[in-house]
Amino acid sequence: MSRRPDRAERGSATLAASGVLGLLLVLGAALGVVGAMVHAHRVAQSAADLAALAGAHAGGVAGADPCGAATDVAAANGARLVSCVAAPSGAGTDVRVRVEVDGPRLLGQTHDLRAEARAGPAG
């Protein structure tokens, strides 16, 4: 025989379900921000790697500007070049770059993401 709930207990499942759904919504939003930050960092690291390689390649060509090439490649990959240091080495040019991309602007997140890379001759 089933027991009928008291009037005081009616609607308690609705309240519990609403609480669980609210918690899942907050958790999903937080995971979305984390995923967007990971994606932005990958974009920054890829742009830094490609900019450093372009700068090192340009440094091996007579009369080419390594930091100019790095700036162009970083911009083409959605990043801003923050710093570039090109130093001649024995077999070519050693280039170190730092780039920055806009971070996700979700849930009050305001940080930009940076990445660094180095390219040049081995050793």
The amino acid sitting at 87 is: A
pLDDT digits over 16-68, tens only? 899 999 999 999 988 988 898 899 999 999 999 999 999 999 888 766 899 99
More confident residue, 96 or 123: 96
For residue 6, pLDDT beyond 80: no
Helix, strand, coil shares of the chain, percent, nearest 5, are 50, 20, 30
Q: CA 71 → CA 8, 16, 21, distances in Å? A: 68, 54, 46
